[in-house]
Structure 1
Amino acid sequence: MPHLTILYTPDLDRPVADGGTDMQALCAALADTMCEQRDEAGHPVFPIGGVRVLAYPAAHYAIADGGKAGRAAGGTGEYSFVYLNLRLARGRSAAVHEAAGLALRARVEAHFAPLLATKHMGITLQIDEGQEVYNARLSSLHPLFSRG
């Protein structure tokens, strides 16, 4: 862990010229951002082998009033939404949470800036830290990054 899960409206999978975006590029940029994070002592915040960014278009969704206000405002009435949730294991400081959140938000904001300027769109980023009641891990990735 950390795992960043992104849920989004499927209109964002359209080509950029048709009002969509490159979700794979966003995933890669967010993974890079997570790998760049350092704690107060300058150590990596997240184990590289544990960084996961997964994005899923919502098969079914409803947003706000279904587009009435958007049409009344002169838009198409199509609303877009992106929900990002970073799930962390316990043990990081509040300062690390804040810094990671700000860095991720900056990447998200830069990525979606063109769409935010032209579409009715909502974006939510949350960071959750949890006490797992059960946590099993199987990985051949971590040894790859811990070789010295």
Structure 2
Amino acid sequence: MPHLVILYTPDIEPHTDMAALCRGLADTMIAQRDESGVAVFPVGGTRVLAYPAAHFAVADGSGEHGFVYLNLRMAAGRSAVVHKACGDALVARVRQHFEPLLARRHVGVTLQIDEAPGQVFDGKVGNLHPLFQKKD
């Protein structure tokens, strides 16, 4: 973890590069540091996934309005300062990415950050984390 999932109306896809947005958001997440200068998120655990909605209804139904919903889910234990700093950095990246699109049409964009305090199971299988752990 962290996992950032993006749901969006497919009508915006021809007008923006969603793969570039994913990479940019992942880079933004990886760059985050806490109050002590320690990386907030592990490189090997950082995932950004984007999905166009197969079915949607936005605003008045005219078909002229797009929507992008971003949800970052992270493990518990980070401070409110870190939550805000991560949120601000991600919103800035999202704003920069969508600025050309927002100049041409109406699109709603929402970013929410959730923490997983009540996790009852967290199973993991894989070999990504060792690739990015520092060797002493």
TM-score after normalising by structure 1: 0.88
Q: Which amino acid aligns with 1:57?
A: P
> Distance in 2 between the 1:119 and 1:125 partners?
19
Q: Which amino acid aligns with 2:122?
A: N
Pair 1:5-2:13 in alignment: no
Q: Which runs of at least 4 in structure 1 moved beyond 6 Å after TM superposition?
A: none
Structure 2 residue aligned with 1:70: none
Partner of 2:26: 31
Max Rg structure? 1
Give the 3-state SS of the residue equivalent to 2:125 in structure 1: coil
Structure 1: 5+ residue stretches without partners: 15-19, 68-76
1:8-87 matched pairs, under 5 angstroms: 8-14=8-14, 20-67=15-62, 77-87=63-73
Aligned to 2:115: 129
Give TM-score scaled by structure 2 length: 0.96
Count of paired positions: 134
| CA RMSD in angstroms, aligned pairs only | 0.9
- Which residue pairs with 1:17 in the alignment? none
* 5+ residue gaps, structure 2: none
Q: CA deviation at 1:147?
A: 3.6
Identity of aligned residues (%): 65
Deviations 1:117-144 (A, max 9, x none): 1111100000000121211011200011
